[in-house]
Structure 1
Amino acid sequence: MKIMIVEDEALLALELELEVEAAGHEVVGIAASRKAAFDIIDEGEPDFAFVDVHLSDGPTGIDIGRRLADKDVPFVFVTGNIKRIPEDFVGAIGAIEKPYTMNGLQNALSYISEAVAGGDSVTPPPGLILSSS
């Protein structure tokens, strides 16, 4: 799966990139701002994205989520403040709350990979908050 990471904290972005690649996926881009994320969405054609809500240019992760939803790219928010996510999750599968553990992230990535591939009998891991839509 081609995965995009939207995270403005360099260390977290690097850790997430390493976990994604260790799970056998390809990272098509890392963005720390809305513009960089839009460029990756348009050029990298990700299959999935992890999106932080608050980035270097403000709480623009919601706008990025809307763009991903418009392009039918599944995504989850990764955020320290779940309350910043609109009730409709703007089309996200769900959210992972920071701070997360690497084990929790790996479990969420396994679930997401299966769900994106069309698996319907997969049980979501405890660290993944699913949207109600």
Structure 2
Amino acid sequence: MNILIVEDEVLLAMELESEVEGAGHRVVGMATDSREAIELIDSASPQFAFVDIQLLDGATGIDVGRYLSANGIAFVFVSGNLKRIPEDFAGAIGAIEKPYTMNGLQNALQFLQAIVDGARGPLIAPPSLVLSPVVRATLAA
């Protein structure tokens, strides 16, 4: 899977990149603000994205999420404050709360890969992943 990382904390972005690549995926870009993120979405054609809410240019991660959703690209928020996520999750599959463990991230990544690949039915999300209400309802059906 081609993955975009939108994270303003460089060390966290590099750690996430290492985990994503270690799981066999390809990081197509890393952005620290919304402008960079939108440019990469348009040029790098990611299949999935990890998006922090608070970026260098403010709480613009939600805007990036809405742009991803409008372009049919699956994503999750990665944030230290999940209360900042709107009720509709801005189209996100869900969210991973910081700080996360590497094991939790790997479990979430496996689950997210199944969702992106079109898996349906009785999938159980790992505890490290908070699903959006829409995705939760879809998987319960």
Bin the TM-score by the shorter chain: over 0.9
Give the match for residue 97 of structure 1.
Answer: 97
Structure 1: gaps of 5 or more residues? none
Q: Which residue of 2 aligns with 1:131?
A: 132
Matched, 1:17 2:24: no
In 2, distance between residues paired with 1:114 and 1:88?
A: 22
Q: Which amino acid aligns with 2:47?
A: D
Task: State how far apart, in whole Å, the 2-side matches of 1:117 and 1:70 are.
Answer: 19
Gaps of 5+ in 2: 135-141
**Structure 1 position 110 matched with structure 2 position 103:** no
Residues 43-82 of structure 1: matches in 2 within 5 Å? Answer: 43-82=43-82
Q: Which residue matches 2:138?
A: none
- State how far apart, in whole Å, the 2-side matches of 1:21 and 1:80 are: 23
User: Alpha-carbon deviation of 1:17?
Assistant: 0.1
CA distance, structure 1, for counterparts of residue 20 and residue 40 of structure 2: 17
Q: CA deviation at 1:119?
A: 1.5
Structure 1 stretches of 4+ moved >6 Å: none
Where 2:113 maps in the other structure, the secondary structure is: helix
Residue 41 (structure 1) aligned with residue 7 (structure 2): no
Identity among equivalent positions (%) equals 61
Is residue 27 of structure 2 the alignment partner of residue 27 of structure 1?
yes
Offset at residue 118 of structure 1 (A): 1.1
User: Partner of 1:109: helix, strand, or coil?
Assistant: helix
Q: 1:122, CA displacement in angstroms? A: 2.9
What TM-score results when the alignment is normalised by the length of structure 1?
Answer: 0.98
Aligned-partner Cα distance in 2 for 1:62–1:74: 13
1:78, 1:46 → 2: CA distance?
17
TM-score (norm 2): 0.93
Aligned positions, number: 133
